[in-house]
Amino acid sequence: MIRNDCNRKGGKTVADKNEIRLGELAVGEKGRVMRLECEGALRRRLLDMGFTAGTCVEKVGESPSSDPSAYLVKGAVIALRKKDSARIYLLNSGERWNEIWD
């Protein structure tokens, strides 16, 4: 069962957020899609895979060379290369990330 807990912990809504790129997440960290910095076919492909505004994304793994990395998006595991994940911006809350988002 996938929980929709990306913006809550203990009934509290996350208030302090900063923007990071998807590729900056460590394995096990979560974020919420804020925007895509791309156009054309790549944008359409990312939207079709579920990278829409407000979607919860978790980095679940990476290859030994760190390219590509695997992300859990809407119940599906999707592999993205660094150049593509660098175009996806997330809301993050820095060092307290796992405390707030788990």
78: domain CATH number is 2.30.30.90
Condensed to tens digits (0 to 9), the pLDDT of residues 21-35 reads 999 999 999 999 999
Question: Is pLDDT at 51 greater than 80 in this prediction?
Answer: yes
What pLDDT sits at residue 93?
54
- Say if 4 falls within a structural domain: no
Residues 34, 53 contacting (CB under 8 angstroms): yes
Any idea which of 7-11, 48-52, 61-65 has the lowest mean pLDDT?
Answer: 7-11
- Say if 11 falls within a structural domain: no
Mean per-residue pLDDT, 43-64: 93
Question: Is pLDDT at 92 greater than 90 in this prediction?
Answer: no
Sign, CA torsion 49/55/58/63: positive
- Say if 3 falls within a structural domain: no
Residues 31, 22 contacting (CB under 8 angstroms): yes
State the average pLDDT for the chain.
79
- Say if 76 falls within a structural domain: yes
- Say if 56 falls within a structural domain: yes
Mean per-residue pLDDT, 8-17: 39
- Say if 51 falls within a structural domain: yes
- The CA distance from 95 to 75, in Å, is 26
- Say if 12 falls within a structural domain: no
What pLDDT sits at residue 18?
73
Q: What percent of the chain has pLDDT over 90?
A: 61
Number of domains observed in the structure of the chain: 1
The H or E element that residue 13 is part of is: strand 12-13
- Say if 83 falls within a structural domain: yes
Q: How many CA atoms lie within 13 A of 37 on its CB side?
A: 12
| pTM recorded for the entire structure | 0.72
Domain that holds residue 24: 18-90
